Amino acid sequence: MTAEAILALITAGAQALPSLLALFQKASSGTAVTPAEVAAALSGYETARAGLVAAIAAAETPSAGGTA
């Protein structure tokens, strides 16, 4: 695994991990989440899904930068 790939994976994890931990801590402490937090989680899911769809499409598309 290249350093670039490791960095990409770490970055992907770091984006969602803080909110995941915050929600877990709330669940642990018995603090109710707000509707806005639930909406934010769903919005994050939609964004993540769109990102994966785009990544798959890009990976399936032959590179336009090839030699002629």
Q: Which residues bind other proteins (CB under 8 A)?
A: 1-2, 4-6, 8-17, 19-21, 23-33, 37-38, 41-42, 44-45, 47-49, 51-53, 55-56, 58-60
**How far apart are alpha carbons 12 and 3 in whole angstroms?**
14
Nearer to other proteins, 2 or 67 (CB): 2
- Asked whether the beta carbons of 41 and 23 are under 8 A apart, the reply is yes
Nearer to other proteins, 60 or 68 (CB): 60
Nearer to other proteins, 29 or 67 (CB): 29
Tokens of 38: 């639930």
Say which DSSP state 61 is in: S
